[in-house]
């Protein structure tokens, strides 16, 4: 019996596990890094223990430290979550050696399936179709080149351990193979503590379909149907759904039976996911994740099962319950992963304080709340938003509405991209595959939901909310009626910066309504039905909407049914500011310099790699925007950099 559970993970993962454990009457313990000291999951736990350091290797990948924490608080069970040590056989062995129950499969099963090359060999023996692959070493690039030629380009460089898109690179030709292997190995080391990589044949445009399995100690393995995870960026899933729109009943039966056979081949116990690539009705084994997946909520919503509860039940030695053996599909569920990143700028991660976090109308598994800090040290996913419908169109509509009306203030996110994906005809008709974002570039797909006209309305709402706040501060009535006035008010003016463009707002309460203009465009009939510092009920030409407004310093966040805006209120008398030297390339985010590839005096061309910054467990290349000569390099490998810090100066040719 489990009485006290230590969760060796963080964020929404830890909070999700704690929620079920609490319902089962199980006490929970959180471990946390210095960077996570004030994180919500730490507050959610019954107890918490600090880990020294901030990096993943020093904290959430530190096996001795986590086991010691479990023993100190007298926990009897450890749940690894999904990610970090969830697929570490060494961690499972260390827990068992310390007398702790480990929520997951046996160390041997983790080791076998965690080594993707070994797993492929076992699957081949079991008759499961696999893709051509080859083991390589980052130091033997000549051998790797020969293996790649034998497999045939394009190939995929993959981390032997771990997953989640980390340590993966697509390679189209021999010229770029070496740099891709080195980058993948570095990234795999940072994310999983294991830099081994291998090559695998890369299929262009398949579907990514995975099957959820569970096994018990009596040797029974069952599947809980499939999930479609085809819409991805950088091999990282961002939209998942169950069931797959590409899977027929006959195909579902075949894939399910194959996944069960894979689990039985290694005596699998607990939750696991068998991943396949699907094309033209045929499928190939991709890998097996020996843990619960980030996308497990869609399976929960279409089966009515709590998969974390099932994990804990099986870990305690119970047999698979009858309701799991007889589970059926009901309805359709879709999950969107909400990341703190900028899809319009190469998915650069966004850090900072989340001033407000509100999502209504869908299940939200979030690792953040109002006031949470998003740091550079961990994965940038901040929440999963999941909607269920009686059918797929209803699930899409519900998820779109929840995301459209969400209030997420303080960091840049991929919310608008998610909405546009869900509304795209190729997704709506169920035909989207893994190449979806290659055919529909994210920088174009992620254009703000609020167009220029909507942002002008948002600016007017912010101006009116600001006026209400000033009236409230001086003791005047907060709400201003918009009807006939004996004495028209004076014209008011306020300016906002909207992503580098200025929106000047002018408004005046007249005898018969409000006269207003924004960005040089005069509004038609304007009626203010309500005017508060936090919301403005505004009708323009008969179109009435509620604009929710939130001010942080000089920044106004405005949310309405037509999108969201971040507007910076400009001072009436601007103060001059300094500028960087012409030709300066600055850091787009906080991070650590991994490598510097140029020196002063080097001649560079457009697109040449200058250096690499690592943030949130991913590498980001800084490339030259112009032809020229390197005038200065201001950083070295290992340096920590802040946003807007000068890195390299290029003298244009």
The residues that are catalytic are 291
Tell me the C-alpha distance between 69 and 75, whole Å.
9
Q: What Å distances lie between residue 99 and 64, 75, 76, 194, CA to CA?
A: 14, 10, 8, 26
CA nearest neighbour of 314 among 261, 268, 273:
268
**Do 80 and 91 contact (CB within 8 A), yes or no?**
yes
Percent of the chain as helix, strand, coil, to the nearest 5: 30, 35, 40
Residue 151: both structure tokens together: 């497999």
Which pairing describes strands 381-389 and 492-498: parallel, antiparallel, or unpaired?
Answer: unpaired
Tell me the C-alpha distance between 237 and 228, whole Å.
10
Cα-Cα-Cα-Cα torsion 608, 612, 615, 617, nearest 10 degrees, comes to 100
**Do 175 and 153 contact (CB within 8 A), yes or no?**
no
Q: Phi/psi at 51 (nearest 5 deg)? A: -110, 135
Which pairing describes strands 492-498 and 501-509: parallel, antiparallel, or unpaired?
Answer: antiparallel
Residue 539: both structure tokens together: 């009708």
**Do 353 and 373 contact (CB within 8 A), yes or no?**
yes
Tell me the C-alpha distance between 56 and 39, whole Å.
16
Tell me the C-alpha distance between 507 and 493, whole Å.
7
Tell me the C-alpha distance between 314 and 521, whole Å.
64
CA nearest neighbour of 33 among 373, 348, 301, 427:
373
With a CB cutoff of 8 Å and minimum separation 6, the contacts of 539 are 525, 526, 527, 529, 545
Burial of 177 (0-12, 13-18, 19+ CB in 10 A): buried
| Residue 14 DSSP SS3 | helix
Tell me the C-alpha distance between 100 and 51, whole Å.
19
Tell me the C-alpha distance between 650 and 633, whole Å.
9
**Do 39 and 11 contact (CB within 8 A), yes or no?**
yes
Which residue carries 């056979």 as its tokens?
Answer: 261
- The alpha carbon of 25 is separated from its chain's Cα centroid by a whole number of angstroms, namely 30
Which residue carries 């075949």 as its tokens?
Answer: 254
**Do 367 and 15 contact (CB within 8 A), yes or no?**
yes
Angle subtended by helix axes 89-97 and 63-72, to nearest 10: 30
């Amino acid at each position: 019996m489990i009485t006290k559970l230590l969760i060796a993970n963080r964020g929404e993962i830890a909070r999700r596990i704690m929620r079920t454990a609490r319902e089962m009457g199980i006490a929970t313990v959180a471990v946390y890094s210095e960077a996570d000291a004030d994180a919500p999951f730490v507050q959610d736990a019954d107890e918490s223990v600090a880990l020294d350091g901030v990096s993943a290797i020093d904290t959430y990948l530190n096996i001795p430290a986590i086991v010691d924490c479990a023993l100190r608080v007298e926990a009897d069970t450890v749940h690894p979550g999904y990610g970090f040590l969830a697929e570490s056989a060494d961690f499972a062995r260390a827990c068992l050696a310390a007398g702790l129950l480990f929520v997951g499969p046996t160390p041997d099963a983790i080791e076998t399936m965690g080594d993707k090359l070994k797993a492929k060999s076992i699957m081949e023996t079991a008759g499961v179709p696999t893709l051509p692959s080859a083991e390589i070493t980052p130091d033997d690039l000549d051998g790797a080149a020969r293996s790649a030629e034998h497999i045939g380009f394009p190939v995929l460089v993959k981390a032997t351990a771990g997953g989640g898109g980390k340590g993966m690179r697509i390679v189209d030709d021999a010229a770029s193979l070496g740099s891709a292997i080195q980058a993948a190995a570095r990234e795999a080391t940072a994310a999983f503590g294991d830099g081994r990589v291998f090559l695998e044949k890369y299929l262009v445009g398949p579907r990514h379909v995975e099957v959820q399995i569970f096994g018990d100690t009596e040797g029974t393995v069952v599947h809980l149907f499939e999930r479609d995870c085809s819409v991805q960026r950088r091999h990282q899933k961002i939209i998942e759904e169950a069931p797959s729109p590409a899977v027929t009943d006959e195909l579902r039966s075949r894939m399910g039976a194959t996944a069960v056979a894979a689990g039985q081949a290694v005596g699998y116990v607990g939750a696991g996911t068998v991943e396949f690539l699907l094309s033209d009705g045929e499928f190939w084994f991709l890998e097996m994740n020996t843990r619960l997946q980030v996308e497990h909520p869609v399976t929960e919503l279409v089966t009515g099962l709590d998969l974390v509860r099932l994990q804990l039940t099986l870990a305690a030695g119970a047999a698979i319950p009858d309701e799991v053996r007889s589970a059926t599909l009901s309805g359709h569920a879709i999950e969107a992963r909400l990341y703190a990143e900028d899809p319009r700028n190469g998915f650069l991660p966004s850090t900072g304080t989340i001033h407000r976090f509100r999502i209504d109308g869908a299940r939200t598994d979030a690792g953040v709340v109002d006031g949470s800090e998003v740091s550079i040290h961990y994965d940038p996913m901040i929440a999963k938003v999941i909607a269920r419908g009686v059918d797929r169109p209803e699930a899409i509509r519900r998820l779109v509405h929840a995301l459209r009306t969400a209030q997420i203030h303080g960091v840049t996110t991929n919310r608008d991209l998610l909405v546009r994906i869900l509304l795209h005809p190729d997704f709506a008709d169920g035909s989207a595959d893994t190449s979806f974002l290659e055919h529909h570039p994210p920088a174009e797909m992620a254009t703000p939901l609020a167009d220029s006209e909507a942002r002008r309305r948002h600016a007017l709402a912010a101006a009116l909310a600001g006026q209400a706040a000033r009236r409230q501060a001086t003791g005047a009535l907060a709400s201003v009626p918009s009807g006939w006035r004996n004495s028209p008010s004076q014209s008011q003016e306020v300016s906002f910066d909207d992503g580098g463009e200025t929106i000047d707002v002018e408004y005046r309460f007249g005898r018969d309504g409000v006269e207003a203009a924004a960005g040089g465009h005069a509004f038609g009939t304007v009626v203010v039905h309500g005017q508060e510092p936090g919301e403005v009920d505004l009708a323009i030409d008969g179109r009435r909407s509620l604009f929710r407004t939130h001010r942080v310093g000089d920044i106004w966040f405005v949310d309405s049914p037509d999108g969201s805006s971040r507007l910076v209120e400009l001072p009436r008398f601007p103060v001059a500011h300094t500028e960087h030297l012409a030709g300066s390339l600055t850091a787009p985010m906080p991070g650590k310099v991994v490598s510097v590839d140029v020196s002063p005096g080097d001649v560079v061309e457009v697109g040449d790699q200058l250096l690499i910054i690592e943030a949130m467990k991913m590498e980001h290349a800084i490339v030259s925007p112009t032809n020229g000569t390197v005038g200065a390099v201001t950083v070295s490998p290992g340096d920590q950099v802040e946003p807007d810090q000068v890195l390299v100066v290029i003298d244009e040719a």
